Amino acid sequence: MKLKIIKALLRASILVLFSMLTLTSCIYTPDPSVITLEEYRFSKEGDLQRAVAGNYLTHPVAVVHDFYRNGIGDEMNPVKVYFEVVSGGGTVDDAYLVLNPSEKVETHWQLGSEQTLQSMKARVYDSDDNFLNELTFQALAFQSGRWDPVSLEPDASVLDLASDTIRKTTFMVARGKLFRQGDVYFRWQEIVDANLRGVYSVKIDSQGTIYVGVWSGDVFKSQDGGTSFSQVTKPIPGYQGHFELYITADDKVWVSRWGYPLRYSADGGQSWIEAQSGLENNPQVNEVFSLSNGHLLTLSDADRTLYRSTDAGVNWEAINTPEGTAKIYVTPEDDIIVLTQRNGLSLYQSSDEGQTYERKYALGVDYYSSPMGTVFHKYGSDYYICMTGGGIVKTSDFETFNLFWDNTDVRELWMDHNGVMLATQLNHGMVFYYR
């Protein structure tokens, strides 16, 4: 009796084990003739290019069949790829292409002019018209007479920009790196140099010498158009960190930092001379200007007062200053232009070195910015002024003004050597181009 029970239990155990093995085999052994959706892999090439509106992108856009990375082999059939422009108004040369395994298909995209950021989709189907995947391509189309927004790096993080209208070059600082403008105004090439780490400022003198300030408290210069850089004598001995860097019309290089004397170099950075007498408590200054008579002007960030030096910076004296002064500029005719922040923004002009001022323009704003960044630019006979929080105004004589760009979010303005404007807004992460 016991023997029969044992045999019965043994048979039952064998049947259960066989059933489990059979079930496991059914679950975990795939049919090699079936290719699942997860085993299809596609990638894209040519995304995020830039071109002038109406032109073709420099490189084709492509869909790549990446199935070999999954080790599937030759079982896959060709797939169908349909390209369709979904925004911007552009066209593609090939709307339908057949894509073989481990290969890629390309088409050329001609951008439209309806908007800056344009999109195109590539939809992939198998030979039985079953949907497999969708890839989105984006491109930027730039058009004259339009403010084109860009949220891509590096220019979306522009921190400083310097242009040379004589040698037709422009340099930009972004993300701690230095860039040279490329063949068109919206393309930038990084300058790779081991010395240029933590870049935050770039300036160019009248001879084309490029000066770059870095976070180590050092200054590097280039006399070959940015091909190579060499370190100058440290402006503030023992100091590491940020400082303001300016160049006056007489090619003196100025360095200013809170708590340290204002100083300048008249020999290209070989030596530095302190120039702080009369500037109490070593304030940081906002710009330094050299007038045709040799006098110097600067604005103290501490008390928002204009200071003048008649002896090349040895001594400074406070002069008449409009209340609420935030930024100053000196025209080629030695007129002092003052931008104030008080009950909105106002522009004042002085033609007698600060003895008297005349209010020329006023604009209501949504916010104030302090300290104020780069706001004054001259190109040809016209001046462009960024009224931070109000917009950009244009004038040729400081008598007649027009609101060139009505944008209450605008914060800072730069201009390249061809007069192309780059403007940032209150919230960083985007730059606007205007040509």
- In the chain, where the domains are located: 39-142, 148-171+250-434
Beta strands in 258-399 (DSSP E): 260-265, 273-274, 285-290, 296-300, 306-309, 317-318, 325-330, 336-341, 345-350, 358-363, 376-379, 382-387, 391-395
**Separation CA 258–CA 276 (nearest Å):** 12
Query: How would you classify the pairing of strands 42-45 and 91-92?
Result: unpaired
SS3 14: helix
Amino acid sitting at position 313: G
Instruction: Give the architecture (CATH level 2) of 148-171+250-434.
Output: 7 Propeller (2.130)
CB-based contacts of 266: which residues, under 8 Å, 6+ apart? 251, 252, 273
Two tokens at 160? 């400083």
pLDDT digit of tens for each residue in the chain (435 aa)?
A: 444 444 444 454 544 444 443 433 333 334 344 455 556 789 999 999 999 999 999 999 999 998 654 455 456 789 999 999 999 999 999 999 999 988 999 999 999 999 999 999 999 999 999 999 999 999 999 999 999 999 999 999 999 999 999 999 999 999 999 999 999 999 999 999 999 999 999 999 999 999 999 999 999 999 999 999 999 999 999 999 999 999 999 999 999 999 999 999 999 999 999 998 999 889 999 999 999 999 999 999 999 999 999 999 999 999 999 999 999 999 999 999 999 998 899 999 999 999 999 999 999 887 777 678 899 999 999 999 999 989 999 999 999 999 999 999 999 999 999 999 999 998 778 999 999
CATH architecture of the domain with residue range 39-142:
Sandwich (2.60)
